Amino acid sequence: MKKKLFIFSNEKIFSQNNQFFCDNIDLKSSPEGLNKEFEVNLFGRKSAQKRTHQIKIKKIKTFSNIFTYVSSLIDSTKNKDSKYLVISISPYTFIICLVLRILGIKPTTYLRSDGYGEYKAILGRLGPLLYHLMFNIVSLFSNFISVRKYILRGKKGKIVSPSQLDTVWFRKPKNLEIKQFRLLYVGRLRIEKGIFSLANLIRNKHNITLRIIGAEKQTFRKINQSNIKIETIQDNKLKLIKYYDDHNVFVLPSYTEGYPMVLLEALSRRRPVIIFDEISHVIGDKKGVFVAKRNFADFFSVLNHIKKNYKKIQKELASNKLPTNKEFIMQLSKAINEYK
């Protein structure tokens, strides 16, 4: 009989006719993958807005406020043989961790990104202080799983390598030449993702176009530039792959990243990637990733280098050894099971 695994997330989940949808692909794929090893129960915040990816597991609950969230959490602890996985540290999940501790349960907290950098991008100077307080309190009574060692800030934890890649992503990448720079960004329109910075960087640059895939149904900040086209989140894998294939350079403008899976997607389609120096740590041993400073002169210099060496770069990209989603789920399941 499978052990129960309760997963707690700060992400918003939309429900309709007993079907559940989210915008974060990892919130769909990870519970679905873990459901093969565990009996997964997913808890998240209720969304009034339609979301993109259908989460195909049976046991999902959503909550409109922290009080009903905590009440259902307390009910879940009646089964003493269950495991508890908290995704990321936010004010919501921080409270969940505290309640679990009060109930005598040691949760496993999965850190997918650098909260210090994210909170700084969102809240300014006060952001890292708030995250530091939550992180250090949670570290006193939680097991950690992370995507990067540096995110643990010296605390003990297990490291996993997230990926959404399967065999479809590696099928016959399309070869291109660069005549005009056709840039692609896949991700949400959030300040911490650096997309507004990138838009300003290429403003009025008519020889550079950018397509953004990942706008949520309700986006409060807009980008109105003639050389930028914005699409909503794409839930069809083949259509998403075609977007990668139809563009010649992928840009990841984030101010902070832990282990960006879109970078793996771009590399699997043999598209060179430009990042900015704030996240140079994500390169590791991967070929075809280039670092630029956050100004147009340096960014354009990197683009021209890629253009001049495009065929050579694509050959180098073919030698990358990229992790798959199957391997990631095995790592994550093992890490959860090893914690008591």
Question: In the predicted model, what is the mean pLDDT of residues 173-188?
Answer: 89
Residue 176 and residue 153 share a domain: no
Q: What is the reported pLDDT for 217?
A: 62
Among the ranges given (1-15, 70-84, 154-168), the one the predictor scored with the smallest mean pLDDT? 70-84
> What confidence tier does 221 reach under pLDDT thresholds 50, 70, 90?
low
Residue 331 and residue 196 share a domain: no
User: Can you state the angle between helices 126-139 and 91-102, rounded to 10 degrees?
Assistant: 20
Return the structure tokens found at 148.
């990067």
In the chain, what percentage of residues exceed pLDDT 90? 79
Residue 185 and residue 51 share a domain: no
DSSP letter string, 259-283: S-HHHHHHHHTT--EEEEGGGGGG-
The length of the chain in residues reads 340
SS (HEC) of 123-164: HCCHHHHHHHHHHHHHHCCCEEEECCCHHHCCCCCEECCCCC
Flag whether pLDDT at 220 surpasses 60.
Answer: no
Amino acid occupying residue 98: L
Residue 112 and residue 12 share a domain: yes
**Cα(148)–Cα(151) distance, rounded to whole angstroms?**
6
The β-bridge partners of 231 are 213
Q: What is the reported pLDDT for 81?
A: 84
Count how many domains the chain has: 2
**Cα(140)–Cα(133) distance, rounded to whole angstroms?**
11
Q: Which DSSP symbol is given to 298?
A: H
225-279 pLDDT tens trace: 999 999 888 889 999 999 999 999 999 999 988 889 999 999 999 999 999 999 9
Residue 291 and residue 197 share a domain: yes
Q: What is the reported pLDDT for 45?
A: 96
* φ and ψ of 55, to 5 deg: -90, 115
Q: In 10 A of CB 156, how many CB atoms?
A: 8
Residue numbers of the domain that contains 189: 167-317
b/e map 5-31, b = 16+ CB within 10 Å: bbbbbbbbbbbeeeebbbbbbbbbbbb
CATH code of 134's domain: 3.40.50.2000
**Cα(101)–Cα(140) distance, rounded to whole angstroms?**
10
**Cα(179)–Cα(78) distance, rounded to whole angstroms?**
63
> What confidence tier does 181 reach under pLDDT thresholds 50, 70, 90?
very high
Residue 212 and residue 96 share a domain: no
Residue 176 and residue 159 share a domain: no
Sheet containing 228-232, strands listed edge to edge, beginning at the edge strand earlier in sequence: 228-232, 208-215, 181-186, 249-252, 273-276, 289-292
The overall longest dimension of the chain from CA atoms, in Å, is 63
Q: In 10 A of CB 146, how many CB atoms?
A: 23
Q: What is the reported pLDDT for 219?
A: 58
Q: What is the reported pLDDT for 72?
A: 93
> What confidence tier does 136 reach under pLDDT thresholds 50, 70, 90?
very high
Residue 81 and residue 39 share a domain: yes
Residue 142 and residue 232 share a domain: no
Q: In 10 A of CB 36, how many CB atoms?
A: 10
314-335 pLDDT tens trace: 889 999 999 999 999 999 999 9
Residue 223 and residue 115 share a domain: no
User: Rounded mean pLDDT of the chain?
Assistant: 93
How many Cα atoms sit within 13 Å of 100 on the Cβ side?
Answer: 28
Q: What is the reported pLDDT for 192?
A: 86
Among the ranges given (30-34, 41-45, 97-101, 312-316), the one the predictor scored with the smallest mean pLDDT? 312-316
Residue 171 and residue 145 share a domain: no
**Cα(127)–Cα(120) distance, rounded to whole angstroms?**
5
191-208 pLDDT tens trace: 889 999 999 999 999 899
Q: Rounded to two decimals, what is the model's pTM? A: 0.87
Contacts of 232 (CB under 8 A, 6+ apart): 52, 214, 215, 216, 217
Residue 158 and residue 12 share a domain: yes
Return the structure tokens found at 302.
């990197």
